[in-house]
Structure 1
Amino acid sequence: MNILDLFRLDGKVALVTGAASGLGAAIAQALAQAGAEVAVHGNRRAATETAEAIVAAGGKSSAFQADLGDKLGAEKLFSETKAAFGQVDILINNAGTIARADAVDTTLEDWERVIQVNLTSVFQLSQLAGRDMIGRGAGGKIVNIASLLSFQGGIRVPAYSSSKGGVAQLTKALANEWAPKNIQVNAIAPGYFATTNTEALQADETRNRQILERIPAGRWGQPVDLAGAALFLSAPASNYVTGTVVTVDGGWMGR
């Protein structure tokens, strides 16, 4: 077998949450280029532009919208994806939100929404996908998007840090349970990427300088920088990799 065949996803269906732009859009397009049919999700709007870009490039994709901040959002999204594609072989839990405030000023409402979107919906979708994969006896791949704040505390983002620490531990817990079922569960911890979630940091001259000085690569990550790791963890090439949190951070964690 040619080694590149282990990175093909022909005949697979992938669901990518938070794919309207940024990291999710880049991941969705990479999986489509590898041969997967891709359901792309948007939290506030359907990820129509991402789906159209995939179709224009010769792939197959449909756009969906569901509020993962609602406890019923995950089930709605998964049911609609199953109805459209018949199965889910790859789940990318990328959707996320953030609330920046001092811990003493963080509202319970903000805390609960961040935890629901970033952690609880990840469990809900993983549970739904796991049931589907186990029921079909087909195995599968689940890739969660963690964060450097899965390892570090961060500043003024207590709910976000807590949620991403939970994502890392949930990844390991599910990997332990589902490895015998040929389901690999892994996570990617992106470093500082130029996305809408980090616009405030990029615009803050002092914080931007401090961040760049700390990154050995000397630059913010771009969404395409995450695509290779996502493809690897979604493809047969990673069939003996499970329970890992892969950092894609320009060297931040090694410094």
Structure 2
Amino acid sequence: MKKSDSFSPRVIIITGASRGIGKAMAEKYAGNGDFVALVADQKEELEETAVLLKEGENCLVLHGDLADGDFLKQVVENTLAKWGRIDVLVNNAAWRTLETLRTISLENWEKTLKICLTAPVFLSKLVAANMEKNGIKGVIIHVSSIMADRAGGTSPAYVASKGALLSITYEMAALYGPSGIRVTAICPGNVHTTMSQDFTDSKGENISSDLVRDMENLTPLQRSATPEEIANGVFWLSSEEAAFVTGTSLVIDGGFTHNFSSYKNKHSQFPKEF
């Protein structure tokens, strides 16, 4: 997006900014000249991201636990103390375990929902209140997942939270729309991140590469996304080019969601065509 002569930097809060998609988002916004508040629980990686950005006063590191309500308030207060406003909030942070509903503990269920759902909702509530108070027509973006609609039976709390994020997107868009605040969601498919590299079999052996290949064989574009490609979608949603987009989600999955069968099966049926 080309900067206009009247360009002024926005203030962006990104949760889960220490790695993967969040890190790519931080690089995208910082490269655009925006001010970026980096939020995560991985202090060392978060500081490495800040150094990578090389933006000095344009970057703020906020290390803490998003499951802690007091930390959510600190994120908003510290961002306002540094820059005086908030224009965009990207709720990207996530946490989950790989287990079925048969075995998941109440502790793991509640921790997943706290980080993946409760934190985004109440951080959004705090940010939106400040936007309304200061007349800022801001943007809130929730990072959901195609798993909100394509569950696998192996991560119940994560799937529940991602589905709920879509519902709260519609609810928040209806509530804050009259104030000029846009609320949207993004639903990535498989992305090359650390979260896609921790799958193990019953013997504890890592089978991530096998699962990724299987996912890619079901994807029309025949590959996974890069974090930068997801960041590009988030950046667009927060831009003026998407000024009439709210109360909806953007799916970036390489066509996976609406594809019926694997390309291995297609090839066996139509070897000259697939």
Partner of 1:48: 47
* Whole-Å separation in 2 of the counterparts to 1:59 and 1:236: 25
- The question of 1:245 aligning with 2:249 is answered yes
More helix per residue: 1
* Whole-Å separation in 2 of the counterparts to 1:100 and 1:165: 17
Deviations 1:22-54 (CA, angstroms, capped at 9, x unpaired): 100101111122221111111232621222222
3-state SS, counterpart of residue 62 of structure 2: strand
- The question of 1:229 aligning with 2:229 is answered no
* Whole-Å separation in 2 of the counterparts to 1:10 and 1:38: 14
Q: 1:188 to 1:59 in 2, by over 3 A?
A: farther
Q: 1:50 to 1:9 in 2, by over 3 A?
A: farther
- The question of 1:99 aligning with 2:97 is answered yes
Partner of 1:219: 223
Q: 1:37 to 1:219 in 2, by over 3 A?
A: same
Letter matched to residue 44 of structure 1: Q
**Number of equivalences:** 251
Letter matched to residue 226 of structure 2: Q
Are the aligned partners of 2:41 and 2:64 in contact in 1 as well (CA < 8 Å)? Answer: yes
* Structure of larger gyration radius: 2
Partner of 2:190: 192
* Whole-Å separation in 2 of the counterparts to 1:166 and 1:53: 34
Are the aligned partners of 1:96 and 1:117 in contact in 2 as well (CA < 8 Å)? Answer: yes
* Whole-Å separation in 2 of the counterparts to 1:127 and 1:245: 19
Query: TM-score with structure 1 length normalisation?
Result: 0.92
Are the aligned partners of 1:52 and 1:61 in contact in 2 as well (CA < 8 Å)? Answer: no
Map residues 98-247 of structure 1 onto 2, 5 A cutoff. 98-201=96-199, 203-204=206-207, 205-247=209-251
Shift of 1:4: 3.1
Q: 1:156 to 1:85 in 2, by over 3 A?
A: same
3-state SS, counterpart of residue 254 of structure 1: coil
Cα root mean square deviation, aligned: 1.9
Q: 1:9 to 1:174 in 2, by over 3 A?
A: farther
* Whole-Å separation in 1 of the counterparts to 2:122 and 2:64: 13
- The gaps in structure 1 that reach 5 residues or longer are none
Are the aligned partners of 1:12 and 1:89 in contact in 2 as well (CA < 8 Å)? Answer: yes
Q: 1:9 to 1:27 in 2, by over 3 A?
A: farther
Deviations 1:89-132 (CA, angstroms, capped at 9, x unpaired): 11010011111112111000000000000000000110011000
Larger deviation: 60-69 or 89-98? 60-69
Aligned-pair identity (%)? 29
Shift of 1:11: 2.5
Partner of 1:79: 77
Shift of 1:254: 2.3
Query: TM-score with structure 2 length normalisation?
Result: 0.86
- The equivalent position to 2:59 in structure 1, one of 40, 47, 61, is 61
